[in-house]
């Protein structure tokens, strides 16, 4: 029972800290003065995020965002998967990686705990 009380207290403390700091941060609403530190030469250089977006086909030749079809990416038939933009393919790969990692963690974590600590004493 003592461990349960410790866990409940730790959870309540975490929730209080999370929501307490949110209200404090939301209370201060001072507007920062606008400053433009870019020179005309700097304004024409693309930033790193723009370069990454361009390499992932995030924009077409006119500078408009490219769209992806969710049914082609996550659907059961992958006929036009190659026609999807690079950012959508990267998102799909990241989703698959996260799902596999979660399943491995679901199996490996308890298995490791069993090897190290044995069966729980009920």
Q: Which residues, 6+ apart, have CB-to-CB distance to 65 below 8 Å?
A: 58, 59
Domain ranges for the chain? 47-117
Q: Is the pLDDT of residue 23 over 60?
A: no
Residue of higher predicted confidence among 26 and 34: 34
Mean residue pLDDT across the chain: 82
Residue of higher predicted confidence among 65 and 14: 65
Q: Is the pTM of this model over 0.75?
A: no
Number of Cβ atoms within 10 Å of the Cβ of 81: 15
Q: Is the pLDDT of residue 41 over 80?
A: no
pLDDT tens digits, 51-63:
888 888 888 888 8
Q: Is the pLDDT of residue 102 over 90?
A: yes
């Amino acid at each position: 029972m003592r461990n349960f009380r410790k866990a409940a207290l730790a959870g309540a403390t975490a929730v209080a800290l999370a929501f307490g700091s949110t209200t404090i941060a939301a209370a201060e609403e001072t507007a920062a003065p606008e400053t433009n530190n870019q020179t005309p030469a700097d304004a024409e250089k693309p930033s790193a995020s723009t370069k990454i977006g361009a390499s992932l086909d995030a924009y077409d030749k006119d500078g408009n965002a490219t769209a992806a079809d969710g049914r082609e990416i996550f659907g059961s038939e992958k006929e036009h998967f190659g026609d999807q933009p690079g950012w959508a393919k990267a998102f799909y790969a990241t989703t698959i990686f996260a799902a596999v990692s979660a399943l491995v963690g679901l199996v490996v974590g308890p298995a490791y705990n069993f090897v190290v600590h044995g069966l729980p004493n009920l």
